[in-house]
Amino acid sequence: MTFLKGRRILLGVTGSIAAYKSAFLTRELVKAGAEVRVIMTRGAMDFITPLTLATLSKNPVLSELIEDRETGVWTNHVDLALWADAMIIAPVSAHSLGKMVTGQSDNLLLLTFLSAKCPVFFAPSMDLDMFKHGSTRENIEKMQSFGHILIPVGKGELASGLEGEGRMAEPEEIVQQIHDYFEARLPLRGKKALVTAGPTYERIDPVRFIGNFSSGKMGYAIAHELAERGAEVTLVSGPTSLKVEHQRIRTIHVESAQDMLKACQQEFSVAEWVIMSAAVADYRPVEQSEQKIKKTDAQPVVHLALNPDILKWMGEHKSPAQTLVGFALETNNALENARKKLKAKNLDLIVLNTLQDDQSGFGYDTNKVTLITADNKTLPLELKTKTEVARDLIDYLQQSAQ
Ligand code: CTP
């Protein structure tokens, strides 16, 4: 249920026996990571107490437009409606359904419903014959014609003892439907991305290596942000202490630049976006000792060989449908060097890090970067958290892809 995490859900509960299920619904939504605020009608309170829903939602339940007549304290239904990412009215009774269709607004729930700009889901609940009635059918159709989303009723034994249609959908089904709604609207749904992160370690012997201070935080933040927006991400990671768990991130762990090249070559052709944020070691020891090298009086010499340039290989093999992003870490002539790198490696965009800020670069949670594009646009970003830099970078790629 990753798409409900952090979502703001307004749950409207009206007077129907299925109001007891709204406790389970609230619980499921909170468990899925949503922030839930509940509005109840007076009728709903005959079936379930506000205290139950306030406790489960971890927020006070709202029901009155005017909370205190003497002091004039009232609940701003417009703000409430704007706060929500989605409104769910479950259960919606035949009575409330009728009022919604005709635009009546004599309680807080109806006022908020009329003010809502977010998607509104409604889950009818009533007895068999009420559900069958032509007016109910018409009201449901009208609600749909206004753009609201029906959560269909279930079939089976009803509270009255009758058998048939009219039972409110089960809380798990409602949560699933809302989750699927958000998932289907993810902007990068189905896009395949390849991201590299972290350092590479180039072995000298079984216990020593040449490496660098890259923490991998930038690349992991990029992979996570892409996945959150719906992309299918392959993360090729050098050695780091970071972990990422996301259903759309597949992590391939590698150690050296040569391992990273091999993994990237296997994954490259299917990736539409490739973001190469790893700090690949430029050199590796020519020889790797099988045994631990013993200390001697002689001055040791490690001969180095040039590592393959993975990004350059990608630039040479990329198709017009692929977008290739590199990183550059420069300490002098930064812009000029980054532009040269972008050209030499045939990139669409390069993220320049100049390490000019105290809180920027290896190991920090923040970064200060400049985005430079192949058509020579330069976009300096403020010092931000790496998560925010990842968001800005992906926002930029998304805009450019439109
Ligand atoms: N890169 C790579 N393979 C290498 C070296 C670097 O794929 N062997 C990638 C990095 O992941 C980064 C970009 O190339 O996206 C720039 O890396 P950088 O080390 O700044 O550039 P170099 O080409 O190595 O140039 P220099 O070290 O001279 O600055």
**What is the per-residue pLDDT for 357?**
66
**59, 107, 139, 212: which one is catalytic?**
212
Instruction: Please tell me whether residues 236 and 122 are part of one structural domain.
Output: no
Instruction: Please tell me whether residues 113 and 215 are part of one structural domain.
Output: no
Q: Number of folded domains in the chain?
A: 2
Question: Which of 202, 327, 330 to mutate to test ligand 1, by most ligand atoms within 8 A of the CB atom?
Answer: 327
Distance 280 CA to ligand 1 centre (A): 6
Question: Looking at the domain assignment, is residue 293 inside a domain?
Answer: no
**Contacts of residue 113, Cβ cutoff 8 Å, sequence gap at least 6:** 12, 81, 87, 89, 100, 120
**Which atom, in ligand 1's list, is nearest to the CA of 328?**
20
Instruction: Please tell me whether residues 229 and 178 are part of one structural domain.
Output: no
Residue 109 CB-half CA count within 13 A: 29
Instruction: Please tell me whether residues 254 and 392 are part of one structural domain.
Output: yes
Going by CA atoms, what residue is nearest to atom 17 of ligand 1? Answer: 328
Going by CA atoms, what residue is nearest to atom 24 of ligand 1? Answer: 282
Instruction: Please tell me whether residues 152 and 179 are part of one structural domain.
Output: yes
**What is the per-residue pLDDT for 158?**
84
**What is the per-residue pLDDT for 1?**
66
Q: Could you tell me the residue range of the domain that residue 381 belongs to?
A: 192-283+303-401
Instruction: Please tell me whether residues 156 and 19 are part of one structural domain.
Output: yes
**What is the per-residue pLDDT for 358?**
67
Question: Looking at the domain assignment, is residue 292 inside a domain?
Answer: no
- pLDDT tens-digit readout, 180-223: 999 899 999 999 999 999 999 999 999 999 999 999 999 999 99
Question: Looking at the domain assignment, is residue 140 inside a domain?
Answer: yes
Question: Looking at the domain assignment, is residue 138 inside a domain?
Answer: yes
Candidates 304, 345, 302, 308; CA nearest to 327 is: 345
Distances in Å between the Cα of 343 and the Cα atoms of 276, 317, 334 are 15, 14, 14
Instruction: Please tell me whether residues 165 and 31 are part of one structural domain.
Output: yes
Burial 128-146 (b: 16+ CB within 10 A, else e): bebbeeeebeebbeebeee
Q: Indicate which CATH number applies to the domain containing 95.
A: 3.40.50.1950
Question: Looking at the domain assignment, is residue 71 inside a domain?
Answer: yes
3-state DSSP helix/strand/coil % of the chain, to nearest 5: 35, 25, 40
Examine the residue annotation and report whether 212 is marked as an active-site residue of this protein. yes
**What is the per-residue pLDDT for 143?**
98
Distance 308 CA to ligand 1 centre (A): 10
Token digits of residue 131: 């559900």
Segments of the chain scoring below 70 in pLDDT:
1-2, 356-361, 363
Question: Looking at the domain assignment, is residue 297 inside a domain?
Answer: no
Instruction: Please tell me whether residues 257 and 360 are part of one structural domain.
Output: yes
Question: Which of 195, 218, 256, 311 to mutate to test ligand 1, by most ligand atoms within 8 A of the CB atom?
Answer: 311
Instruction: Please tell me whether residues 226 and 316 are part of one structural domain.
Output: yes
**What is the per-residue pLDDT for 360?**
64
β-bridge mates for residue 188, sequence order? none
Instruction: Please tell me whether residues 259 and 337 are part of one structural domain.
Output: yes
Question: Looking at the domain assignment, is residue 290 inside a domain?
Answer: no
Going by CA atoms, what residue is nearest to atom 14 of ligand 1? Answer: 311
Distance 242 CA to ligand 1 centre (A): 22
Distances in Å between the Cα of 307 and the Cα atoms of 30, 258, 301, 351 are 50, 7, 18, 22
Distance 282 CA to ligand 1 centre (A): 7
Going by CA atoms, what residue is nearest to atom 6 of ligand 1? Answer: 280
**What is the per-residue pLDDT for 162?**
80
Q: For 78, which DSSP code?
A: H
State which of 183, 201, 230 marks the end of a domain: 183
Report the distance separating Cα 225 and Cα 17, nearest Å: 42
Distance 329 CA to ligand 1 centre (A): 8
Distance 279 CA to ligand 1 centre (A): 7
- pLDDT tens-digit readout, 284-332: 999 999 999 999 899 889 999 999 999 999 999 999 999 999 999 998 8
In three-state secondary structure terms, 22 is: helix
Going by CA atoms, what residue is nearest to atom 8 of ligand 1? Answer: 309
State which of 183, 214, 240 marks the end of a domain: 183
**Contacts of residue 305, Cβ cutoff 8 Å, sequence gap at least 6:** 283, 284, 285, 286
Distance 75 CA to ligand 1 centre (A): 57
**What is the per-residue pLDDT for 359?**
66
Token digits of residue 145: 């014609």
For ligand 1, residues with CB inside 6 Å are 257, 276, 278, 280, 282, 307, 309-311, 326-329, 341
Report the distance separating Cα 31 and Cα 25, nearest Å: 10
In three-state secondary structure terms, 75 is: coil
Instruction: Please tell me whether residues 42 and 149 are part of one structural domain.
Output: yes
State which of 148, 183, 218 marks the end of a domain: 183
Question: Looking at the domain assignment, is residue 295 inside a domain?
Answer: no
**Which atom, in ligand 1's list, is nearest to the CA of 327?**
15
Question: Which of 280, 307, 337, 354 to mutate to test ligand 1, by most ligand atoms within 8 A of the CB atom?
Answer: 280
Instruction: Please tell me whether residues 145 and 278 are part of one structural domain.
Output: no
**What is the per-residue pLDDT for 75?**
81
